[in-house]
Structure 1
Amino acid sequence: MPCTGITGRPRGAQVSADRTGGVQSLERAFDLLERMADAGGEVGLSELSAGSGLPLPTIHRLMRTLVACGYVRQQPNRRYALGPRLIRLGEGAARLLGTWARPYLAELVEATGETANMALLDGDEVVYVAQVPSRHSMRMFTEVGRRVLPHSTGVGKALLASLPPGEVRALLARTGMPAATDRTITEPDAFLAELERIRELGYAVDDNEQEVGVRCLAVTVPDSPTAAAISISGPAGRVTEGATDKIVPVLHGVAQRLSVALSNNGAAPVS
C-alpha cells in the first residue's frame, strides 16, 4: 500500500513496487506512519490493519522495524505512537520547505509591494516557516519560527477553513480564543461562520485581528505535502478592500505555482 504523498495518489491504490520503481515494504512503512499521524499519533495494530488492508503479521513486522529505528514507540498499553526521531526529520523538512518557498514569496512581494509569509499548521498552532519582507520603510515583520494560535491570523483561518467543523471546535476548545485585539473573533460559532465565508470566497482576511493597524490576506497552498498557507500583510491603509481584489488573484496564482514546485521536490522554476 503506497503512502499518499504530494502526487495525490489515493490511499488504498494497489501499485506494485516494480511499476513505481520503489520498495514495497518502504512504501507500506510510510503509509503506516501517515495513518498514525492522521489518527492523532497513536493507534493499535487492529486499527492499522482495518485502515490499510494489510494483514496483522505484516503490520507487526513493519512496526517492529520502525520501533527499532526510533520512528515509532510502543506504549505501555501496547498501542503504537509516533517516535521522537521523527521530530528531527520534520524540523529539517520544514526548513527546506521554507527555502523552496522563498522565490515564490519574493514574487508576491514584487507583485503586491507587501511582506509575504508562508506558514504551516503544526498541531494546534500556526508556525511561520518563511518570509520575504516588503521594501517599504513601514512594513510588517514576523519572525520565522514564531508560533501563534490560528484563530486570529489570516494564515490560521485559511488553514482551519479546510478542516471539518468538529475538528475546528475541538482545536478551539483546547487552545481557547484569547483576544489579541478588540477585533479578534473570540466566539466559536462566530468563528465557524467566518470559516464558511472563507470557503465561499476562497481566501482569508485578518482585519486588525492579530495586530491593530495590520491587514493580512491568505490562501492555502493546494495539494501541499503538509497543510500550508501563504499570505501578504501590510498596513491597513495600503491593504485596503480595493487592493484586495487585485491581490487575491496574485496569491492564488503564486500558491498554485508553489504547489507544482513542491510536487516536483522544489524543482519547478518560478515563472
Structure 2
Amino acid sequence: MPKQSPAGPEPGADPAPERGSGRVQSVERTFELLEAMSDLGGTAGLSQLAARLALPLPTIHRLVRTLVDLGYVRQQPSREYALGPRLMRLGEHASQLLGTWAMPYLRELVDEIGESANLAMLDGDHVVYTAQVPGVHAMRMFTEVGRRAQVHCTAVGKAMLALMPPEQADMIVAGSVMHPQTGHTIITPDGFRAELDRVREAGYAVDNEEQEIGVRCVAVAVPGRAPRAAVSISGPSPRMSDALIQQAVPLLRRAAEGVAGELEPLRPGTAQAG
C-alpha cells in the first residue's frame, strides 16, 4: 500500500521556522511586534500591525492576545492595543544598563572636550538623564541621573525629535505644555517646528540658555530606527563657544554611533558594511 505524503500547511498558516538557525520564530515575531507598536507611537490596531510586519491577521491576533494575558500589552476602549505597564520595569533596568554601557563613550568626550558629557533617553514628552561624566573644570555642569526635563528646552530632546518623522514629533509636542524655563525658551509649536528643521539640516541640536541661564549644551541623537537616546556636552556659556561646539559635534557623532552599537548590536547572519 503506497505511503501517503504528509499534508501541506493549511492556507494562511505561518510558514515553518528555519531549522538550524538557532532562533525561535515566535519569540522573534513577538519582539518585532512590540518594536512595531513602539514605532507607531505605542498604540496600534491589529490591521496596522499586520500590514507593518507582513504577517497574517490571525498570527498578529494570537501574539497580541498572549501579550495582553501577560500584561505587556493592553486593549484600549478604542479596541486598539497599547504597550502595557509590565514593560516599564524592563525599561527601567534597560535604561540603567544603557547608562553603564555608555560611560566609556562619555568619558572619552570629557577627555577630549573637558566639559560634562551626558546621556539622555526619551520618555513621552520628557527626557530622562541616564548617565553623566562630570567635566574637568572646577566650575562645571552637574545633572543628577534620573532627572527629567521637557523636550522643547533641551538639546537632547530636540536632537531626538528631529530624527523622527515630523508627524510623530508633532504628536509628542502636542501633548506637551511648553513652559518657558528662561527668556530664551521656544514656547510655540511653529517656532519649535522651525527649530527642528534647523536641527535636521545641521545634524545636531543646541540649547542656547533655553533651560538655564548661563548654560549651553550641544547634542547628537543616537542613530537607529526609532531614536530614543542622545548624547550631549554642556557647560557655562562663556566656555561653550560656537568654536567649541563645532569641535564637539564630530566627537558627539562618534560617541552616538558607539552607543548605537550597544543598543542594536549586529544581528546573527547579517554582514557589516565596510
Give me the TM-score of the superposition, normalised by structure 2: 0.84
Per-residue displacement from partner, 1:142-168 (whole Å, max 9, x unpaired)?
A: 111111111111111111111233333
2:187 is matched with which residue?
Answer: 186
Per-residue displacement from partner, 1:177-198 (whole Å, max 9, x unpaired)?
A: 2111111112222222221111
In structure 1, list runs of 5 or more residues that go unmatched: 1-13, 266-271
Q: 1:225 to 1:103 in 2, by over 3 A?
A: farther
2:161 is matched with which residue?
Answer: 160
**Structure 1 residue identity aligned to 2:135:** S
Task: Compute the displacement of 1:217 (Å).
Answer: 0.8
Q: Secondary structure at the match of 2:251?
A: helix
Q: 1:54 to 1:180 in 2, by over 3 A?
A: same
* Paired residues of 2:221 and 2:256 also in contact (CA < 8 A): yes
1:72 is matched with which residue?
Answer: 73
1:150 is matched with which residue?
Answer: 151
Task: Compute the displacement of 1:254 (Å).
Answer: 1.8
Q: 1:170 to 1:71 in 2, by over 3 A?
A: closer
User: Which range moved further: 138-147 or 225-234?
Assistant: 225-234
Task: Compute the displacement of 1:78 (Å).
Answer: 4.2
Which whole-Å CA distance do the structure 2 matches of 1:226 and 1:91 have between them? 17
Q: 1:258 to 1:169 in 2, by over 3 A?
A: closer
User: Does structure 1 residue 95 correspond to structure 2 residue 84?
Assistant: no
User: Which range moved further: 232-241 or 182-191?
Assistant: 182-191
CA RMSD of superposed structures (Å): 2.2
* Paired residues of 2:125 and 2:176 also in contact (CA < 8 A): yes
**Structure 2 residue identity aligned to 1:169:** D
Over alpha carbons, which structure has the higher Rg?
Answer: 2
* Paired residues of 1:221 and 1:229 also in contact (CA < 8 A): yes
Which whole-Å CA distance do the structure 2 matches of 1:15 and 1:107 have between them? 47
Q: 1:192 to 1:45 in 2, by over 3 A?
A: closer
What is the aligned residue count? 252
Which whole-Å CA distance do the structure 1 matches of 2:80 and 2:55 have between them? 17
2:4 is matched with which residue?
Answer: none
Q: Secondary structure at the match of 1:177?
A: coil
Which whole-Å CA distance do the structure 2 matches of 1:209 and 1:115 have between them? 18
Within-5 A mapping of 1:226-241 = 227-241=228-242
1:60 is matched with which residue?
Answer: 61
* Paired residues of 1:172 and 1:188 also in contact (CA < 8 A): yes
2:272 is matched with which residue?
Answer: none
2:86 is matched with which residue?
Answer: 85
Which whole-Å CA distance do the structure 2 matches of 1:155 and 1:137 have between them? 24
Which whole-Å CA distance do the structure 2 matches of 1:75 and 1:152 have between them? 32
Task: Compute the displacement of 1:99 (Å).
Answer: 0.6
Q: 1:196 to 1:115 in 2, by over 3 A?
A: same
Q: 1:118 to 1:96 in 2, by over 3 A?
A: same
Which whole-Å CA distance do the structure 2 matches of 1:75 and 1:225 have between them? 23
Which whole-Å CA distance do the structure 2 matches of 1:106 and 1:59 have between them? 44
Q: Secondary structure at the match of 1:211?
A: coil
**Structure 2 residue identity aligned to 1:81:** A
2:205 is matched with which residue?
Answer: 204
In structure 2, list runs of 5 or more residues that go unmatched: 1-14, 267-274
Q: 1:263 to 1:42 in 2, by over 3 A?
A: closer
User: Which range moved further: 109-118 or 156-165?
Assistant: 156-165
Q: 1:213 to 1:220 in 2, by over 3 A?
A: same
Runs ≥4 in structure 1, deviation > 6 angstroms? none
* Paired residues of 1:104 and 1:254 also in contact (CA < 8 A): yes
Task: Compute the displacement of 1:173 (Å).
Answer: 2.5
Which whole-Å CA distance do the structure 1 matches of 2:23 and 2:157 have between them? 36
**Structure 2 residue identity aligned to 1:217:** V
Give me the TM-score of the superposition, normalised by structure 1: 0.85
* Paired residues of 1:224 and 1:262 also in contact (CA < 8 A): no
Q: 1:16 to 1:112 in 2, by over 3 A?
A: farther
